[in-house]
Amino acid sequence: MKHLAKILLFVLISYQAWSQNRPPIKNIASDGTSLSKFWKWKEGDQAAWAAPSFNDSTWRDSTVLYKNISHFPELREAQIGWFRKSIRVDSSLAKKNLFLSIEQTGASEIYLDGKLLHKIGVVSTNPAVEKTKILAELLPITLPDTLQHVLAIRYSFTKSNFYFPGTSQELFKIKLYDINRWGGSFYRDNLEMSRALAFCIGIFFIFSLLHFLFYSTNRQQKVSLSLGFTLLLFGISFFADFLDDHITSISTHEINELITLITLYLGLLLINVSLYLYLDQPFKYFFYLQVGLMVLALISTIFNIALPFRLQSWPFFILLFVDFIRVSILADRRHHPNAKVPINTLMAMAVCLVVFFTVSILFGILAYNFDSSESTGEYFLVILGIFALIFVLSIPVGLSLSLVKEYTRTHRSLLKKITEIETLSAKNLAQEQEKQHLLSTQNEVLEKQVATRTSELKKSLQSLKATQAQLVQSEKLASLGELTAGIAHEIQNPLNFVNNFSEVSTELIDEMKEELERGDTEEVKAIADDLQQNLQKITYHGKRASSIVKGMLEHSRSGTGERQLTDLNALCDEYLRLSYHGMRAKDKSFNADFQANLDPSLPTVNVVPQDLGRVLLNLFNNAFYAVNQQNLQSSKNFTGFVPTVSVQTKHLVNAVEIRVSDNGGGIPSDILPKIFHPFFTTKPTGEGTGLGLSLSYDIITKGHGGAMQVESEAGKGTTFTIKIPILTN
């Protein structure tokens, strides 16, 4: 073990000495020779640091410059610093026109042996002065001899620059090119790379559009929608990567990097979402753990948060792959019809992984054994990128091909069924033609029967309409008869008083003449006073009869159906009395108590008085009929029943309420819902048409936009409630 430790120590010391005493650049590869390794650097700013004679032995060593700015915390804090490197070339490259290809994040000035060669942006610690630039053009450089020269870089990156610590690109990358050997390969390589990226972007977007079209034709296939978004996100990620080579602004570059990262992670997550949907797997804790790890990976990567064992992204990728295997195995155990697709995809992925790790080990060894390790690393990254692309595409493409196969199978199945249907149709065509003749004959017979029955139904309908019209007219005539009887009985009272007092007055005049002949003036005066009182009473009752007649004339003139402001208290009181006297006119033995509890604050309401009066008359007539029937029943049982009908008005917030109550026998609960149906009546046959309450309900609800309800309890009475909204017009 001791000898083994000595050997390892010797190898490490030898490798370090070899790396610090690098041989001169004898030849430049066709893709350039990297100068990004073995630099010394120091934060701060002094003009003397560009001189080749300056002693930089105390400066920090940097293995490579193509690291993130966060790997140089002192430089990040100072916002400005210097980098130095010794280079020399052999005689084949001395005095030749060489070029430097530089990619950076910040602003820089390049010095050769203390002389300023190029400026890329404006170097300054003042954010208002500094001008950063990401991508630089090719810069010429000539080494005059084979001696050692010092290449120095003055670099600044102020804290005002917008960037995400985990997404910002490399601090500084520099390559040396021989223009004679290199020629236009740089532009050709970039063009080929751009074409490759454009090809990948097109593939992703075309596949995404196809899946969205699949989903539009079959909304039940949710996996098509998920795969469409998956490939769309990958396409956006590649497109952002394509734009990265054409961006010079740091803030734009950072946003572009952020879009690339987020769309890539979301696309990877949606691969498993598509698998879940394809295999009918429920989303449970295992999936939500992936979501949490993805969020953790994004946050730690974007903001460069150091996690134990550098667990920024690997747990998410590993769990993603493990969950893919888990779901596939579960589907295979359930004998899911689509389980073979992810199993085959897993085999393809396993091959990709073997090749991936083989290439990783091979190029990992080469990277530590060649001077052009950065070029080797770039080739390595390109090859790894190709295999990673195949690895990522294998899942959505496999699922896509499976969906296409499903659509193909469905299409073939439909074609097969259509062929079978056509065959059956051809076989049944002859039978159908035979049946057609029978059907046509039967149709003629049926049409004749239908025509005959239709004619009979029309006649029945016309007869029914005529009967209905007669019933409605009978109801109107019955209401008119009851109203006329009430009016006649109401006028009869004042007319009886007028007749009686007229007869008495005639007798008083005869007595007065006799007393005048006798000369008894005192008795004449007394008779004259009595006669004057009789005339006053005749005048009072005559006016009473005149007011009744005038009221009826007014109601007859308002029969146009137009609304007008009406005193509902007066209307209720008048029709209550008319209904009572109408009942008295029909039945002299009828007697009942009626009450009017009228709200004095009730406003005038815009209604059709004749229609509303008809409703009130109908309700009062029904109420008096109910209490009369209950009175007849009570008279047989000697219960001391007092028939009573009452009307009550009330001013509500935006309406008026009229309640008509009686203490009759009530309405049974089983027929109460039918009380407003046309032609339904509780009266014996011949005493009612069944249209009174139906017409009243239509007048209140349809004619006045109000509401009409009934409450009843057997043996205790019935209450009808009318609510009419208060309208201004």
pLDDT in tens, 252-264: 777 888 888 888 8
Please indicate, yes or no, if residue 162 is contained in any of the structural domains: yes
What tens digit of pLDDT does each residue of 239-251 get?
887 787 677 777 7
Q: Which of 389, 403, 396 is nearest to 213 (CA)?
A: 403
Q: How confident is the model at residue 637 (pLDDT cuts 50, 70, 90)?
A: low
Residues 159 and 214 grouped into a single domain: no
CB 376 within 8 Å of CB 341: no
What tens digit of pLDDT does each residue of 42-53 get?
999 999 999 999
Average pLDDT over residues 362-368: 49
What per-residue confidence (pLDDT) applies to 70? Answer: 76
Please indicate, yes or no, if residue 17 is contained in any of the structural domains: yes
What per-residue confidence (pLDDT) applies to 80? Answer: 93
Domain range enclosing 399: 187-404
Residues 292 and 374 grouped into a single domain: yes
Q: Is the pLDDT of residue 636 over 60?
A: no
Residue type at 674 in one-letter notation? K
Question: What's the rounded Cα separation, in Å, for the pair 624 and 298?
Answer: 86
Q: How confident is the model at residue 552 (pLDDT cuts 50, 70, 90)?
A: low
Q: Which of 34, 41, 148, 54 is nearest to 102 (CA)?
A: 34
Higher pLDDT, 684 or 16: 684
Residues 38 and 103 grouped into a single domain: yes
Q: For the domain that residue 28 is a member of, what is the CATH number?
A: 2.60.120.260
What per-residue confidence (pLDDT) applies to 475? Answer: 58
What tens digit of pLDDT does each residue of 176-224 get?
887 666 555 555 555 566 676 777 788 888 888 888 888 888 788 788 8
Rounded (10°) CA dihedral 304, 308, 312, 315: -170
What tens digit of pLDDT does each residue of 597-623 get?
999 999 999 888 888 888 898 899 889
What per-residue confidence (pLDDT) applies to 103? Answer: 84
Residues 194 and 270 grouped into a single domain: yes
Place of tokens 């009243």: 696
Q: Which residue, 159, 183, 207, sits at the end of a domain?
A: 183
CB 89 within 8 Å of CB 143: yes
Rounded (10°) CA dihedral 348, 354, 358, 364: 100
Please indicate, yes or no, if residue 484 is contained in any of the structural domains: no
Q: Which residue, 113, 148, 183, sits at the end of a domain?
A: 183
Residues 499 and 596 grouped into a single domain: no
What per-residue confidence (pLDDT) applies to 44? Answer: 93
Residues 596 and 538 grouped into a single domain: no
What per-residue confidence (pLDDT) applies to 112? Answer: 93
What tens digit of pLDDT does each residue of 23-62 get?
577 677 666 788 888 899 999 999 999 999 999 989 988 7
Please indicate, yes or no, if residue 152 is contained in any of the structural domains: yes
For 569, the token pair is: 């208290």
| Most confident region among 114-118, 475-479, 495-499, 670-674 by mean pLDDT | 114-118
Average pLDDT over residues 552-560: 49
What tens digit of pLDDT does each residue of 4-16 get?
333 333 333 333 4
Q: Is the pLDDT of residue 133 over 90?
A: no
- The count of structural domains within the chain is 4
Q: Is the pLDDT of residue 430 over 80?
A: no
Query: What's the mean per-residue pLDDT of the chain?
Result: 77
Average pLDDT over residues 556-567: 68
| Most confident region among 270-274, 513-517, 661-665 by mean pLDDT | 661-665
Q: Which residue, 385, 404, 423, sits at the end of a domain?
A: 404
Q: Is the pLDDT of residue 360 over 80?
A: no
Q: DSSP assignment of 672-703, as one string? A: GGGTTSTT--SSPTTS--S-HHHHHHHIIIII
What per-residue confidence (pLDDT) applies to 424? Answer: 77
Q: Which of 404, 583, 389, 386 is nearest to 483 (CA)?
A: 583
Please indicate, yes or no, if residue 83 is contained in any of the structural domains: yes
Higher pLDDT, 560 or 341: 341
Q: How confident is the model at residue 371 (pLDDT cuts 50, 70, 90)?
A: very low
Question: What's the rounded Cα separation, in Å, for the pair 234 and 227?
Answer: 11
H or E stretch at 119: strand 115-120
Residues 20 and 70 grouped into a single domain: yes
What per-residue confidence (pLDDT) applies to 723? Answer: 93
Question: What's the rounded Cα separation, in Å, for the pair 311 and 295?
Answer: 13
Cα-to-chain-centroid distance, residue 225: 18
- Window from 281-295, 354-368, 426-440, 708-722 with minimum mean pLDDT: 354-368
What per-residue confidence (pLDDT) applies to 374? Answer: 46
How many helical (H) and strand (E) elements, i.e. helices and strands, does the chain have? 15, 16
Q: Is 308 helix (H, G, I), strand (E, B) or coil?
A: helix
Residues 131 and 195 grouped into a single domain: no
Give the whole-number percent of the chain exceeding pLDDT 70. 72
Q: Which of 363, 373, 376 is nearest to 37 (CA)?
A: 373
Residues 91 and 20 grouped into a single domain: yes
What tens digit of pLDDT does each residue of 378-414 get?
555 555 555 556 656 666 666 666 666 666 777 677 7
What tens digit of pLDDT does each residue of 154-177 get?
999 988 887 776 665 678 888 888
Give the whole-number percent of the chain exceeding pLDDT 90. 12
Q: DSSP assignment of 538-586, as one string? A: HHHHHHHHHHHHHHHHHHHHTTT---EEE-HHHHHHHHHHHHHHHHHHH
Buried b (16+ CB within 10 A) or exposed e, 60-89: eebebbbebbeebeebbebbbbbbbbebbb
Q: Is the pLDDT of residue 109 over 90?
A: yes
For 233, the token pair is: 């996100």
Please indicate, yes or no, if residue 417 is contained in any of the structural domains: no
Residues 650 and 670 grouped into a single domain: yes
What per-residue confidence (pLDDT) applies to 661? Answer: 93
Please indicate, yes or no, if residue 431 is contained in any of the structural domains: no
Residues 692 and 575 grouped into a single domain: yes
What tens digit of pLDDT does each residue of 449-502 get?
888 888 878 877 777 776 666 665 555 555 555 556 556 666 666 777 777 777
What per-residue confidence (pLDDT) applies to 658? Answer: 94
Question: What's the rounded Cα separation, in Å, for the pair 26 and 660?
Answer: 119
Please indicate, yes or no, if residue 352 is contained in any of the structural domains: yes
Q: How confident is the model at residue 649 (pLDDT cuts 50, 70, 90)?
A: very high
Q: For the domain that residue 617 is a member of, what is the CATH number?
A: 3.30.565.10
Question: What's the rounded Cα separation, in Å, for the pair 620 and 578?
Answer: 9
Q: pTM of the predicted model, to two decimals?
A: 0.47
Place of tokens 């007849």: 632
Average pLDDT over residues 567-594: 85
CB 85 within 8 Å of CB 40: yes
Residues 150 and 103 grouped into a single domain: yes
